[in-house]
Chains A and B, each alone.
Chain A
Amino acid sequence: MKIPRRDFLGGLASVGGAALLRPSRVAAQPQRTRKYSKPVIDAHFHWYPPEFADLIEKEGEANGVKDISRNENGELQATVPGYHPYAPRATFRHEMSDVESMLTRMDERGVDMCTLTQTNPHVLWAPPPFGLKLAQAINDGSSALCAKYTTRFTAAITLPMQDVNASLYELERARRLPGMRAVNITENILGRNIGNKDFWPVYAACEAANLPIFLHNVDPISQRMLETDYRMINVLGNPYEATIAATSLVLSGTMDEFPKLDVFFPHAGGFFAFLTPRMDWSMGTSEYYPRGRTSSFPNLKQPRASDYRRRFHYDLILHDPKITRMLIDLVGADRVACGTDFPQGMGIMRPVEYVEAIPGITQREAELILCENPARLLRL
């Protein structure tokens, strides 16, 4: 049976976070069982400062934005220029800028601190000067929230990567603002892979400033993912996106060029950790059957692509604690960091219970994942 697109999107929205936490919506909720001596940090959390929406409302039309209106809930909606099959129309949901609600949800979820980052629509679609202005509004607003609630929020610096020079400039400015502890970059830059050397100056600056990069999917790969009666662009596109981004960073030589750079991936880094052995085989250095280094990927400094697994950090969005255990077996418990995509529909609503449900989880591992790894990423 075909479901109309609106119902499909409605179905997606119905899985939005805040709605899920009301008891009537939750049939069976896992229960928290442990105590943590350090703050539990969700390093992948979304909001937008009201100034961001205001700027789009006031100046969007002059910058290509169409159909700016309010929906029945009074939420701003807009169609930003460009091709965005993942999220054709931006909705600025109340729950994503209502600070009281955000704090209440954090308390309910047992999360002490969140890192504020951007998701669709982001700022990449905008003409560069407006993109910079939007990024500045986001960074100023996020920093103000961090300054107000220093033990509850940190933030990632949003960069208008459609213009690398503007991004370098904004990085320099925003990194001195209170609470800014990471850099938020999208997993593709207007369809270009992030390993591209055009972007290396930004990575150099992040590495020099000891700031980790928090990647996020915006406009993921969409080829063949948009059938009329079902869509794969979220369930597949987002993990594919993370996988491509990680692979691009490795195969382009970026991770060799910037050996101190830390990168944090949403959607558990997609399938990167599970398929580096294919690359090892191609390189002739497969652990199970080494053949001698071939001419594949000759520029890599490490003998195996799998050696790069531990250069990255991976969040929790797998929706199966068993599979998260498999990820831990491949990358190490010190590389999995609590990040959930809250309050997005595909997010992990209850990260503490999720981690506690990982088969064989120890207190030490849980503390690493929920508290220490995100804190280390954020240089707290």
Chain B
Amino acid sequence: MSIGRRDFLAGLAAAGATTFAGSRRAWGQSTSAQWAAKPPPVGGPVLKYSKPVIDAHFHWRPPEFFELLEKEGEANGLWDIGRNEDGNFTARLPGYHPYTGGDITVRARRDPGEVDAMLKTMTDRRVDMCTVTQTNPHVIWAPPAFGLKLAQVINDGTSALCAQHPKRFTGTITLPMQDVKAALAELERARSLPGLRAVNITENISGRNIGDREFWPVYERCEALNLAIFLHNVDPIWERLVENDYTMINVLGNPFEATMAATSLVLSGAMDEFPKLDVYFPHSGGFFPFVTPRMDWSMGTAEYMQRGRTGSFANLKQPRASDYRRRFHYDLILHDPKVTRMLIDLVGADRVVCGTDFPQGMGVMRPVEYVEAIPGITQKEAELILCENPARLLRL
């Protein structure tokens, strides 16, 4: 059965994909804020935390970002421009974006209560501090000069928010990776802005895998500056994932994307080249930790049956792909505390980080209760995941 495009997008939205700028409702009335306000009906023990609870994967766009799109977007490729029934600016992005349908809806007016509503939601969720990062459609779609301009307003606006509420918000530096030189320049400029404590890069750069050597100058600089890379899925892998009557591009595409990004960083040699580089993955890194044994087997160094190193992935410095699991950090978006326990068993509790994708539909609404529901969770583990690991990544 063929469904109309609007129903399809509504279904996507229900499934958690975001149309740009999210809900038309004010922050406090959004679906996510409503779910964030209630704890889940079943759960584990309720623990207390002596350090701040940090959600390292949170999304927000400064109002200046929308204003720039409205003013200069059409000159930079936005098309099918219009207004919706709320008076909001709507447009479509250039390029192929099956994840979101390529639509954007831009809020026409600033919402003066927005930050207070965000702070209240954080309090509801028992989260002390959030790290602001970007999601679809990001700035990657834009011609390089405009992409840089968009990144600058995002970084300036995010920093202003962090300066206003330094105990509640940190931010990441958004980079226009479609132009590596511009990205390096913006990294230099933005790193001294208050509150920006990590670097936000997408898991593919306009369809290219992130292990590509062309991007290594940025990783080199992040490593030298001791800034962790916070990856995010934008325009995930879409081959065969979008049918007429159902879509798999969120439920499968996003974890597939994280898995490929991690695998690309390892197999390309980037993680060997930059041994101090920290990388944080959304969607719990996809299946990367669960799939490295296949690579170990191919390399001849599988723990359960060693055969002697083969010619596979000959450039890797470590004997096993699985040795790279602990180079990465993985967030909470598995939607099953049992499976998060399995992840902890594979990577260590010091590698799992509270990060939720809030306020996106596929996000973890109540991260504290989620962690507390992990089978056998100890106070130490919960503090690591909710407080210490994100703080360490953010160099707090």
Which residues of A line the B interface, CB within 8 A?
1-3, 7-8, 10-12, 14-15, 20, 25-30, 188, 191-193, 195-196, 221-225, 227, 229-230, 232, 234-236, 239-240, 243-244, 247-248, 251-252, 271, 274-275, 277-282, 286-291, 294-297, 299, 317-323, 326, 329-330, 345-346, 349-350, 353-354, 357
Residues on A with C-beta less than 8 A from B263 are: 232, 235-236
Partner of B337 from the list A26, A29, A288, A353 (CB cut-off 8 Å) is A288
Residues of A contacting B241 with CB < 8 Å?
244
CB-based contact B252/A244 at 8 Å: yes
CB proximity of A152 to chain B, nearest CB, Å: 25
**B298 interfacial by beta-carbon distance below 8 Å:** yes
Asked if residues B268 and A277 are in contact (CB atoms below 8 Å), the reply is: no
Q: A252-B243, A329-B338 are in contact. Are A346 and B290 (CB under 8 A)?
A: no
Flag if A323 contacts B252 (CB, 8 Å): no
Asked if B307 and A346 sit within 8 Å, CB to CB, the answer is no
- Proximity bits, B149-161, A CB within 8 Å = 1, else 0: 0000000000000
Nearest-neighbor residue (CB-CB) of A290 within chain B: B41
Residues 289 to 318 of chain B near chain A (Cβ within 8 Å): 290-291, 293-298, 300, 302-308, 310-315
Closest residue of chain A to B315, judged by CB?
Answer: A1
**CA of A353 to CA of B305, assembled, Å:** 10
Contact (A323, B290) CB under 8 Å given A230-B267, A288-B42, A288-B336: yes
Report yes or no: B268 in contact with A229, Cβ–Cβ below 8 A: yes
Given A247-B252, A289-B369, list of 11 further CB < 8 A pairs? A11-B310, A15-B297, A28-B306, A248-B248, A277-B339, A288-B335, A317-B294, A318-B290, A322-B345, A346-B297, A354-B304
In the assembled complex, the CB of A27 is this many whole angstroms from the nearest CB of chain B, namely 5
B238 within 8 Å of A (CB atoms): yes
Known contacts: A290-B41, A291-B35. The answer to whether A7 contacts B268 by CB under 8 A is: no
Residues A15 and B315 in contact, CB atoms below 8 Å apart: no
Q: How far is the CB of B87 from chain A (nearest CB, A)?
A: 27
Taking CB atoms, residues of chain A closer than 8 Å to B337 are 288
Q: When the two chains form their complex, are residues A277 and B334 in contact, meaning their CB atoms are under 8 A apart?
A: yes
Q: Is the CB of B237 within 8 A of A278?
A: no
Q: Are B255 and A15 in contact (CB under 8 A)?
A: no
What's the Cα separation between A27 and B306 when bound, in Å? 6
**Is B312 a contact of A222 with CB atoms below 8 Å?**
no
Per a CB cutoff under 8 Å, which of B310, B336, B339, B362 touches A15?
B310
Given contacts A14-B310, A296-B15, A357-B304, contact A286 B260 (CB under 8 A): no
The interface size of chain B toward A, counting residues with CB under 8 Å, comes to 77
Can you list 10 A-B contacts with CB-CB less than 8 angstroms, sorted by A residue number? A26-B307, A221-B240, A244-B252, A252-B243, A274-B334, A275-B252, A280-B336, A282-B251, A288-B42, A320-B303
Question: A230 and B246 in contact (CB under 8 A), knowing A221-B239, A239-B287, A349-B305?
Answer: no
Shortest Cβ distance from A197 into chain B, in angstroms? 9
Q: Which residues of B contact A289 (CB under 8 A)?
A: 40-41, 335, 365-366, 369-370
Query: CA separation between A346 and B295, bound complex, in Å?
Result: 9
CB distance from A209 to the nearest CB of B (A): 27
Q: Whole-angstrom distance between the alpha carbons of A4 and B98 in the complex?
A: 35
Task: Assess whether B204 is interfacial by the CB under 8 Å rule.
Answer: yes
Q: Assess the B335–A235 pair: CB atoms within 8 A.
A: no
Q: Does B302 contact A320, Cβ atoms closer than 8 Å?
A: yes
Given contacts A235-B298, A243-B252, A346-B294, contact A274 B287 (CB under 8 A): yes
Known interface pairs A235-B295, A278-B255; A195-B243 also in contact (CB < 8 Å): yes
Also in contact, A224 and B287, with CB within 8 A (given A251-B246, A288-B336):
no
Which chain A positions have C-beta within 8 A of B315?
A: 1-3, 229-230
- Decide if B305 touches A288 in the complex (CB within 8 Å): no
Report A-chain residues with C-beta under 8 Å of the C-beta of B302. 319-320
B248 touches A230 (CB 8 A): no
Q: Please judge, given known A-B contacts A278-B335, A296-B11, whether A30 and B304 are in contact too, CB under 8 Å.
A: yes
Write the chain A residue with the least CB distance to B7: A295
Interface status of B141 (Cβ within 8 A of chain A): no
**Interface membership of B16, Cβ < 8 A:** yes
**Given known A-B contacts A236-B259, A281-B335, A296-B11, A323 and B293 have beta carbons under 8 A apart:** yes
Known contacts A222-B239, A320-B293; A288/B268 CB under 8 A: no
User: What chain A residues lie within 8 Å of B296 (beta carbons)?
Assistant: 319-320
Q: Are A15 and B312 in contact (CB under 8 A)?
A: yes
